[in-house]
């Protein structure tokens, strides 16, 4: 006895697979393009009332750190270190959040481990 599929579900096996493969390829190309665009972007963050400004790239690399000379106190290097860390972390968080938002929109919210 042969199993029967409901109307509209049969007869297009190979065609449906080809269509699915085309859609997957299109999504992959869109993700590659988005990745390139995200990596080219720059994200900046400040701390200490603009005493420290950090610029990071979408590749999660620090491009620049600007420090207001007025906050450089040789007797309190720990405070300057904290300001730098805060600004770096915020810039990297912004870059990561943008990446997650962009890729999530492209994938329709599907979690695809290892893809991005």
- Assess if residue 9 is contained within a domain: no
- Assess if residue 74 is contained within a domain: yes
Average of per-residue pLDDT across 8-28: 75
Three-class secondary structure assignment of the chain:
CCCCCCCCCCCCHHHHHHHHHHHHHHHHHHHHHHHHHHHHCEEEEEECCCCEEEEEECCCCEEEEEECHHHCCCCCHHHHHHHHHHHHHHHHHHHHHHHHHHHHHHHCCCCCCCCC
- Assess if residue 35 is contained within a domain: yes
At residue 61, the pLDDT reads: 93
- Assess if residue 113 is contained within a domain: no
Percent share of the chain, pLDDT over 90: 53
**Number of structural domains found in the chain:** 1
- Assess if residue 61 is contained within a domain: yes
Q: Which domain holds residue 47?
A: 16-107
- The answer on pLDDT for 19 being more than 60 is yes
- Assess if residue 2 is contained within a domain: no
Query: What is the CATH classification number for the domain harbouring 78?
Result: 3.30.1310.10
Residue 50 confidence class, pLDDT cut points 50, 70, 90: very high
- The answer on pLDDT for 4 being more than 70 is no
At residue 105, the pLDDT reads: 85
């Amino acid at each position: 006895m042969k199993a029967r599929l409901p109307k509209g579900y049969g007869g297009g096996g190979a065609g449906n697979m080809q269509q699915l493969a085309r859609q997957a390829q299109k999504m992959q190309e869109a993700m590659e393009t988005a990745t390139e665009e995200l990596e080219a972007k720059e994200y900046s963050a400040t701390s200490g009332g603009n005493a420290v400004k950090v610029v990071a790239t979408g590749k999660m690399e620090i491009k620049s750190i600007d420090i207001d000379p007025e906050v450089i106190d040789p007797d309190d290097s720990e405070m300057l270190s904290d300001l730098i860390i805060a600004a770096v972390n915020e810039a990297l968080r912004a870059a990561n959040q943008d990446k997650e938002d962009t890729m999530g929109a492209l994938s329709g919210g599907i979690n695809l481990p290892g893809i991005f």
